[in-house]
Copies of this chain bind each other. A is one copy, B any other.
Amino acid sequence: MVTLADVARHAGVSASTVSYVLSGKRSISAATRERIQHSIDTLGYRPHAGARALASSRTGILALMMPLRTGLYVPVLMEIAMAVTTTARSHGYDVLLLTGEEGPEAVRRVEGSAIADAMIVMDVGIDDPRLPCLREAARPSVLIGLPTESAEAADTAGLDCVDLDFEAAGARCVDHLAGLGHTGIAVLGEPPAVYERGTGFAARTLTGLRAAAGAHGVGLLHRPVDGTYAAVTAAVTRIFEERPGTTGLVVQNEAAVEPLLALLRHQRRAVPEDVSVVAICPDQIALHASVPLTAVSVPAREIGRLAVERLVRRLAGEEPRGTELIAPRLTARASTGPAAPGVPSARTEDRHGHGGH
């Protein structure tokens, strides 16, 4: 193995000079820099990560806590993970992947063993048990998500958060449908497990949906669904039975999109003539669905990128703290249109508790 000492010897300089060439932390004469660089290339030297970590207490690693819990839609998570690794590499960092259910223990392990310089925390829930550890931790961290039902109620003191503004996204969907004259709106939400865990983004979306429905005086029915044909069929059938005046559907469940569209076709409900559909999902899904969907896009790549950039700035000593929510962008496509005239209205209802309307 080639060490820094080997390079120093080969170039006829001291070890510290080589180190400073690498780090750029002090000025080196062009002549010696070139000589050293040449030795580095010739010998194929690479700094030893462990030695560097020990001496500098910086690992060049970011930990990504991505628990893959039931009901989550994997491709979106993966897109975030990709953006994280890509952005991290562009800043010279590698990414350690933590997918387990270990929770707080994993945070302590990363912190205590100095495995990583900082961490990115995904799948944040309301009262997430990892939060106390993160607040105490000496190393910076960024949450992808908010640990609250609403941005206003956010107890994010001492935390850095990055996410889509799901609350505004929910509101935006209802605004769009209400603006088209729809007065009976139903929401196909994430799988029940997601709400039961108190997952932040789902709760915040619901808050926004309800607020906007209230403001517009339109009825809102909310149904969590698993992303299967059977579950979607059952839920949608019940929605139309219970409230036949439903003409607007909001879907926040990537896996349910195609089952829903297939079912509507099968039931001979034309989109958007009979039913308008607004999704909250990545652009790719909205575009490639069997009917191009009007949707608020979930900017997975941007979220991952932002999280890393914040962390990198924090590690560089800056303090860009606080919550940064990306404003939702709704793109109108083929799945929404004006409400058919004369449809009956209905009262707000809710199945998930938290006291609807």
Contact = CB atoms under 8 A, between A and B. Distances in A.
A49 B53 contact: yes
A12 to B, nearest CB: 23
A98 B94 contact: yes
Interface stretch (A40-48, A151-159, A329-337): A40-48
Contact of A59 (B44, B50, B85, B95): B50
Interface stretch (A75-83, A196-204, A245-253, A349-357): A75-83
A51 B49 contact: no
A243 B51 CA distance: 65
A61 interface: yes
Contact of A109 (B46, B64, B288): B46
A282 B290 CA distance: 23
Contacts of A82: 68, 99
A85 B112 contact: no
Contacts of A258: 258, 262
Interface in A29-59: 44, 46-54, 57, 59
Pick the most buried of A44, A49, A78: most chain B CB atoms within 10 A of its CB: A49
Contacts of A77: 78
Given A97-B81, A98-B94, A100-B86, A49 B114 contact: yes
Contact of A97 (B47, B50, B85): B85
B96 A61 contact: yes
A269 interface: no
B47 A113 contact: yes
B94 A115 contact: yes
Contacts of A112: 44, 46
Interface string A215-240: 00000000000001100000000000
A327 interface: no
A59 B89 CA distance: 20
Contacts of A229: 288, 290
A74 interface: yes
B97 A49 contact: no
Contact of A114 (B48, B79, B99): B48
Pick the most buried of A64, A89, A94, A288: most chain B CB atoms within 10 A of its CB: A94
Contact of A99 (B51, B81, B99): B81
Contacts of A50: 49-54, 57, 59, 114
A86 B108 CA distance: 18
A25 to B, nearest CB: 19
Contacts of A100: 85-86, 89
A74 to B, nearest CB: 5
Contact of A262 (B54, B85, B262): B262
B53 A113 contact: no
A19 B75 CA distance: 43
A44 to B, nearest CB: 7
29 contacts: A46-B108, A46-B112, A47-B113, A48-B54, A48-B114, A49-B113, A50-B53, A50-B59, A53-B53, A54-B54, A64-B97, A68-B78, A74-B78, A75-B75, A81-B97, A85-B97, A85-B99, A86-B99, A86-B100, A89-B102, A94-B115, A95-B96, A96-B96, A97-B97, A229-B288, A229-B290, A258-B258, A259-B290, A262-B290
Q: Top 6 A-B pairs ranked by shortest CB distance?
A: A50-B53, A46-B112, A50-B54, A97-B97, A49-B113, A85-B99
